[in-house]
A = this chain, B = another copy of it.
């Protein structure tokens, strides 16, 4: 299918064998980034209605080309089976009509989100008489580096486009046919809907050197978003010269304070660990206050639900089924039915443990004591801090953002779930009446 859809000029050039061969990876990235930046300048001026129309056209194109996308996806799945991908990896890779429809619907959902571009952050008039307006603008050129899930191609493209950013996408080799088909369908739809042709580009090579060139393209690419496992994020964070929006680990804690409601604590602990163990917001460590009277019930419920518990000596004393935790356990993101458990003496000990071992993603306190909750919410320095809720709520959709490009644990720009607003920055507009500075 990729051949039957119209490619953008830069994509066509990038696909042309002769020119590809003569370019270094850095030259290829420069060419793509400059084409993207040029498209982005047009995109930045499109109204929210215009961007929404282009995205709805892209969603329609995904549906029109469903057969071709599924056929290309079948090639990837067959290759994955031949290459011995695990069942979980094949599941992430596989598309079917329902998943493809969900992908198109997700693009339409983004089209319906409020557009942050042009919003006034604040406005003031200073003594010189100048009026200052801080106004949201797109960040510019976003690089997305992702692994086997082909739906990221559509999701990330939609979020970037709706926030006025150009995107350069680089998906995993195992999904190369799927990604090309999805990108080609999206690009056709976006162009038909009035968006600039190079707004969303797919890196035309799986050469790993080209990924390295993306990571080093400071000044050409404004931000990199890695989407995938820890190995990918670690490599991107280590090598990037471009700012990276990401989180490495989700080592999320739930602290059950002495004044926690026992039934609420049991329900939340069970949910935070067992609802879905493989997501970054899943609880990985449970801290039980020594003064909380119902720790045994929570532990029993987790064990009965099939969770392996690894505890310190005081936790082990609560139930003989708890195995000893090693020093590494406190710093491990299991993403599995395993949980580390420690007994702590009061909120300060709990917050000390969290300060040492949290990955800064999401940490929660369960308590009926408002003062304890206020201290925890103020002093725990993670992107998301929760009171009386399951850490599994750490999600852009649950936060009312409509979608998310990822969850960030860095300390600049955007933290926690990041969606359209997190893909913008601002400029100062200064409105004068002839002021010359004394």
Seen from chain A, the residues whose Cβ lies within 8 Å of a Cβ on chain B are 41, 44-45, 124, 126-128, 130, 132, 137, 139-140, 218, 222-223, 237, 243, 261, 264, 267-268, 270-272, 275, 355, 364, 377-379, 381-390, 392-393, 398-400, 410-413, 415-417, 425-437
Contact = CB atoms under 8 A, between A and B. Distances in A.
Oligomer copy total: 2
Contact of A432 (B355, B386, B413): B386
Given A267-B436, A275-B436, A436-B271, A428 B413 contact: no
Given A126-B399, A412-B223, A430 B381 contact: no
B385 A427 contact: yes
Contacts of A272: 436
A431 B398 contact: no
Nearest to A385: B429
A175 to B, nearest CB: 28
Given A124-B400, A139-B411, A386-B432, 10 more contacts: A41-B381, A44-B381, A45-B378, A126-B398, A137-B381, A275-B436, A387-B432, A389-B431, A393-B430, A412-B425
A170 to B, nearest CB: 20
B130 A427 contact: no
Contacts of A130: 389, 393, 398
22 contacts: A41-B381, A124-B400, A126-B400, A130-B398, A132-B399, A140-B411, A243-B243, A271-B437, A377-B431, A384-B427, A384-B428, A386-B429, A386-B432, A388-B431, A388-B434, A389-B432, A390-B437, A393-B430, A393-B432, A412-B412, A413-B425, A415-B427
A412 B137 CA distance: 11
A417 B225 CA distance: 27
Contacts of A390: 435-437
Most B-side CB within 10 Å, residue of A267, A398, A415, A435: A435
A433 B400 CA distance: 18
Contacts of A243: 243, 410, 412
A377 B137 CA distance: 12
B41 A355 contact: yes
B413 A413 contact: yes
Given A411-B223, A427-B416, A437 B398 contact: yes
Contacts of A44: 379, 381
Contact of A384 (B45, B392, B430): B430
Contacts of A139: 411-412
A233 to B, nearest CB: 13
A151 to B, nearest CB: 21
Nearest to A431: B387
Contacts of A399: 126, 132, 428
Contacts of A393: 128, 130, 430, 432, 435, 437
Nearest to A426: B415
A393 B237 CA distance: 37
B222 A430 contact: no
A240 to B, nearest CB: 9
Nearest to A121: B121
Contact of A435 (B389, B430, B431): B389
B383 A427 contact: yes
Nearest to A366: B434
Most B-side CB within 10 Å, residue of A41, A355, A381: A381
A400 B434 contact: no
A261 to B, nearest CB: 7
A41 to B, nearest CB: 7
A128 B393 CA distance: 9
Contacts of A127: 400
Nearest to A239: B241
Contact of A382 (B222, B411, B427, B437): B427
A258 B224 CA distance: 41
Contact of A434 (B222, B267, B432): B267
Contacts of A436: 267-268, 270-272, 275, 390, 392
Contact of A428 (B411, B416, B433): B416
A110 to B, nearest CB: 18
Report the 10 A-B pairs with minimum CB-CB distance, sorted nearest first: A389-B432, A271-B436, A388-B432, A386-B430, A264-B434, A392-B437, A412-B413, A413-B413, A389-B435, A222-B411
